[in-house]
């Protein structure tokens, strides 16, 4: 018997030596009692008894109960019954987010990116968005993809961006569907595929996304990725125009003006060779900017002939190409820098554009020019540059 007591005493001594009391206090409270305590705190919070809510949530939060940590963080974040303490609020929010909670992880990323009541921190924004993205947040996947494209706080990686856009698009996020569709029309990050672009634009357009509606109109007008249908094109242009989409409003007015009183179901919009020749003759000696680019039908084609960081050199070079016309340029922010893109021509169909491409002077052929639709050029215009 004495031997048994001796062993028991030794065991208790060891537990006390390692902070047995503290272990008991910090042990997570599981089961029904924990849930009941949390519910008591939640009800106190709802009736604005923040003193009782704080008293109830604090031990639960310290024990690792994630919902209590969120409520405790909110109390400190909003200063409910206590002095506002953003440092404590973020501590408890992050404690909870480390245990999961996709929405909280996304919100923390957004908070650090925008510097909302915290120091702007790309590293922490990316950390939390990665967690949320890995857990399936489509919005976190999309936002993280944008950072990879822009190289903000992270190395540029278009492949990773496309992967994230695809994940978000598959979950039905219109922003991602539009971005991925756009990538299929440029032939840069992805191979040209108007069929897939049309499918993605249509998914986003049906959710009311105006830029996708505009691009659906352009593809339907030109018959790329779908059957050409002027009435359907007008339908989608009008949908986008009603939401204030500038290019859609302009193209809709052009089409309606050209169609006049004709039966729209049997009409198509074309530009004759004589009209093209007349426009080119008027453009000789003139270098156009974004205003001219905006006026071109989205369904028309152009040829990108150069890209540079020096605007003055580009304009001087374009002038040396006369009488080739029409010529234009526009600025774009690419990988965090401003570049200037030069384009040549406005062609009503792909066949005419390819013919013009094959007839370019040798000096331009060496620059590897390529065909583009004005809808993709319009998408890159930024009036703030």
Average pLDDT over every residue of 95-101: 90
- Taking the C-alpha atoms of residue 141 and residue 106, their distance in angstroms, rounded to an integer, is 10
Q: Which of 192, 191, 241, 199 is nearest to 216 (CA)?
A: 199
Considering the domain architecture, whether residues 14 and 133 belong to the same structural domain is answered as yes
CA distances from 23 to 18, 55, 123, 171, 244 (A): 9, 20, 34, 44, 62
Over residues 214-254, the pLDDT tens digits come to 999 999 888 888 888 888 989 999 999 999 999 889 888 88
Considering the domain architecture, whether residues 304 and 248 belong to the same structural domain is answered as no
Considering the domain architecture, whether residues 359 and 303 belong to the same structural domain is answered as yes
Average pLDDT over every residue of 304-317: 87
**Strand 337-347's sheet: what is its strand order?**
287-288, 327-334, 337-347, 301-308, 370-373
Over residues 350-360, the pLDDT tens digits come to 888 888 888 88
Average pLDDT over every residue of 64-85: 92
- What is the domain-level CATH number for residue 43? 1.25.40.10
Phi and psi at residue 287, to the nearest 5°? -105, 120
Given a cut of 60, is residue 158 above it in pLDDT? yes
Q: Is residue 238 in some structural domain?
A: yes
At 365, is the pLDDT very low, low, confident or very high (cuts 50, 70, 90)?
Answer: confident
Which domain covers residue 108, as residue numbers? Answer: 2-138
Considering the domain architecture, whether residues 279 and 248 belong to the same structural domain is answered as no
Average pLDDT over every residue of 267-272: 42
**Structural domain count of the chain:** 3
User: DSSP 3-state assignment of 220?
Assistant: helix
Asked if residues 358 and 310 have their Cβ atoms less than 8 Å apart, the reply is no
Q: Is residue 149 in some structural domain?
A: no
Considering the domain architecture, whether residues 250 and 283 belong to the same structural domain is answered as no
Mind giving me the DSSP string for 85-142? -HHHHHHHHHHHHTT--HHHHHHHHHHHHHTSSS---HHHHHHHHHHHHHTT-HHHHH
Considering the domain architecture, whether residues 300 and 201 belong to the same structural domain is answered as no
So what's the pLDDT on residue 349? 83
- Taking the C-alpha atoms of residue 120 and residue 122, their distance in angstroms, rounded to an integer, is 7
Percent of the chain clearing pLDDT 70 (strictly above) = 84
Q: Is residue 159 in some structural domain?
A: no
- What is the domain-level CATH number for residue 361? 3.30.70.1070
Considering the domain architecture, whether residues 192 and 278 belong to the same structural domain is answered as no
Over residues 113-126, the pLDDT tens digits come to 988 888 889 999 99
Given a cut of 70, is residue 280 above it in pLDDT? no
Over residues 15-55, the pLDDT tens digits come to 323 332 322 233 344 555 888 899 999 999 999 999 999 99
Output DSSP code: residue 26: H
Average pLDDT over the chain, rounded to an integer: 82
- Taking the C-alpha atoms of residue 120 and residue 113, their distance in angstroms, rounded to an integer, is 6
So what's the pLDDT on residue 358? 85
Considering the domain architecture, whether residues 246 and 339 belong to the same structural domain is answered as no
State the pTM of this model: 0.64
Given a cut of 50, is residue 267 above it in pLDDT? no
Instruction: Choose one of 198, 224, 259: the last residue of a domain.
Output: 259
Given a cut of 50, is residue 12 above it in pLDDT? no
Query: To 10 degrees, what angle do helices 194-205 and 174-186 make?
Result: 160
Q: Is residue 307 in some structural domain?
A: yes
Least confident range of 15-29, 130-144, 307-321: 15-29
């Amino acid at each position: 018997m004495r031997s048994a007591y001796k062993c028991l005493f030794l065991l208790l001594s060891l537990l006390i030596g390692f902070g047995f009391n503290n272990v008991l206090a910090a042990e997570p409270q599981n089961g029904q009692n924990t849930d009941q305590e949390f519910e008591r705190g939640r009800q106190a919070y709802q009736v604005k008894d923040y003193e009782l809510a704080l008293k109830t949530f604090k031990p639960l939060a310290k024990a690792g109960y994630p919902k209590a940590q969120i409520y405790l963080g909110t109390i400190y974040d909003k200063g409910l019954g206590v002095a506002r303490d953003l440092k404590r609020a973020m501590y408890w929010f992050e404690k909870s987010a480390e245990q999961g909670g996709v929405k909280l992880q996304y919100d923390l990323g957004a908070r650090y990116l925008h510097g909302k009541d915290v120091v702007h921190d790309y590293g922490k924004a990316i950390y939390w968005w990665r967690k949320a993205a890995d857990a399936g947040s489509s919005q976190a996947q999309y936002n993280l993809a944008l950072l990879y494209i822009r190289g903000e706080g992270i190395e540029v990686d278009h492949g990773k961006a496309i992967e994230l856009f695809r994940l978000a698009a598959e979950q039905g996020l219109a922003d991602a569907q539009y971005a991925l569709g756009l990538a299929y029309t440029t032939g840069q990050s992805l191979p040209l595929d108007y069929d897939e672009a049309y499918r993605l634009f249509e998914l986003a357009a049906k959710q009311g996304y105006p830029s996708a509606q505009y691009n659906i109109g352009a593809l339907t007008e030109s018959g790329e990725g779908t059957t050409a249908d002027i009435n359907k094109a007008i339908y989608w242009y009008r949908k986008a125009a009603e939401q204030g989409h500038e290019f859609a409003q302009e193209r809709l007015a052009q089409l309606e003006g050209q169609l006049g009183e004709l039966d729209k179901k049997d009409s198509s919009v074309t530009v004759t060779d004589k009209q093209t020749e007349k426009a080119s003759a008027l453009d000789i000696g003139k270098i156009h900017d974004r205003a001219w680019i905006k006026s071109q039908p989205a369904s028309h084609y152009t040829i990108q002939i150069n890209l540079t960081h020096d605007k003055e050199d580009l304009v001087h070079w374009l002038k040396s190409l006369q009488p080739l016309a029409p010529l234009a340029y526009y600025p774009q922010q690419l990988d965090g820098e401003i570049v200037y893109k030069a384009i040549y021509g406005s062609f009503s169909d792909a066949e005419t554009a390819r013919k013009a491409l094959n007839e370019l002077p040798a000096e331009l052929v060496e620059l590897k020019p390529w065909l583009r639709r004005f809808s993709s050029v319009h998408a890159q215009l930024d009036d703030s540059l």
